[in-house]
Amino acid sequence: MVDSAHFQPDDRPVDDQLADLRVRIDAVDQQLIALINQRARLAQAVGEVKKLDGSPVFRPDREAQVIDRVKAQNPGPVREDSLAPIWREIMSACRALEAQQRVAFLGPIGTFSEQATLNYFGSSIDALACPSVDEVFRATISGSADYGVVPVENSTEGVVARSLDLLLASPLTIVGETSLLVTHNLLRKEPSREGITVVCAHPQALAQCHNWLSQNLPDAERRPVSSNAEGARLAGQDPTIAALASERAASQYGLHVVQPAVQDEAHNRTRFVIVTRPGPHVGVAPTGHDCTSLIVAVDNRPGAVHDMLVPLKRHGVSMTRFESRPARSGSWDYVFFIDLAGHPAQDNVAAALQELRAQCSFFKVLGSFPLDVH
């Protein structure tokens, strides 16, 4: 192994010292390549064993545990939040040797959904850009994709209603989540704001930039489109159109970043969930920092919602999200989307879920999965 002791500058010429350091870095790189390939061969062996009982290639609980351990064992100076994406890419490359996963997301290329997909799965996947969230669900349900990545909540604008409605109606289960700091940039073919008559973006992005647009482009039409990347594509065809999108979209469609970070809230985050078809091996094991998502409904009677929450308090289960949506039954009925802290493998969570189920006229577990703590 190459000596990794701290290097101390000496009296030699700077070029000589740099040359020595670069030789040592090259030697470490060779060791890293050998170790990564050694890990890849072990991953291939794991894949052969999984074939014996049809276990899934991708295990979000296992990958979360690997990253937790890497961070816990990190001696520095590399920061823990820098290690997680490095290991995700290593695991992605190893996973692809078992079988390359096809992952559907809201396209086209350059959307925040694509960025969330790559952040979660790594780049060694077969990425499938879909024209709508509905199509992400269809592709995943049909088997055209192994997984789908869909936005469900924004810290500024709240829930993504269409995603919740589709989770209610579809057979898909949630196996993971990731959140993304969303920075909306004003993109255009020209390097200035002069002559902009239309701003195209997803309706959520337009809402998240409402104040900035009102102050800086008050006369421009705000035109909703299927995605921010679609807005960037349109801006690339017409110099009078501007888009609200990512820097990746700017590069993809040859646009200038006329104004960076125009969202009204500096800490604007979007939460995405990872969905897949249910099956005998889809269950995600507990990791110690888990979430269980439910959809429930209760009879329309006084105190019904209060009674529904009593089992959670009784068994010490925290509720981290509570949203109501129309049941889409044609009458004034509602369903409730609930996130609980914990996993059904925990006795208190299992007991709370059993009591809660008995009180509900509709009860559906969307999935239990590791929280996005990386």
**What secondary structure letter does DSSP report for 285?**
P
pLDDT in tens, 336-354: 999 999 999 999 999 999 9
User: What is the residue-averaged pLDDT of the chain?
Assistant: 91
| Cα 279 to Cα 277: distance, rounded to the nearest angstrom | 7
CA dihedral 248, 233, 203, 328 (to 10 degrees): -100
At a CB cut-off of 8 Å and minimum separation 6, what does 193 contact?
Answer: 186, 216, 217, 242, 258, 259
pLDDT for position 373: 60
| Cα 98 to Cα 59: distance, rounded to the nearest angstrom | 12
Residue 264 · residue 209 · CB < 8 Å? yes
Given the DSSP bridges, would you call strands 198-201 and 319-326 parallel, antiparallel or unpaired?
Answer: unpaired
| Cα 282 to Cα 274: distance, rounded to the nearest angstrom | 12
**What φ, ψ does residue 129 adopt, rounded to 5°?**
-80, 125
Whether the predicted pLDDT of 6 surpasses 70: no
Residues known to be catalytic? 270, 272
Please compute, for residue 182, the number of CA atoms within 13 A of its CA located in the half-sphere on the CB side: 32
pLDDT in tens, 143-175: 999 999 999 998 877 888 899 999 999 999 999
pLDDT for position 374: 46
Given the DSSP bridges, would you call strands 147-154 and 269-276 parallel, antiparallel or unpaired?
Answer: antiparallel
Whether the predicted pLDDT of 1 surpasses 70: no
At a CB cut-off of 8 Å and minimum separation 6, what does 352 contact?
Answer: 311, 312, 314, 315, 317, 340
Residues 312-316: what's their mean pLDDT? 95
pLDDT in tens, 178-207: 999 889 999 999 999 999 999 999 998 999
pLDDT for position 76: 85
* Residue 300, CA distances (Å) to 331, 333, 335 in order: 12, 8, 11
Whether the predicted pLDDT of 103 surpasses 50: yes
| Cα 162 to Cα 309: distance, rounded to the nearest angstrom | 26
Residue 192 · residue 365 · CB < 8 Å? no
Global pTM value = 0.84
| Cα 23 to Cα 350: distance, rounded to the nearest angstrom | 56
pLDDT for position 330: 56
Residue with tokens 């068994």: 315
Domains, the chain, with CATH or none: 14-97 (1.20.59.10), 100-180 (3.40.190.10), 185-259 (3.40.190.10), 290-370 (3.30.70.260)
Pick the closest to residue 368 from 177, 208, 204 (CA basis): 177
pLDDT in tens, 38-56: 999 999 999 899 888 888 8
Residue 297 · residue 207 · CB < 8 Å? no
pLDDT for position 266: 83
- Name the 3-class secondary structure at 4: coil
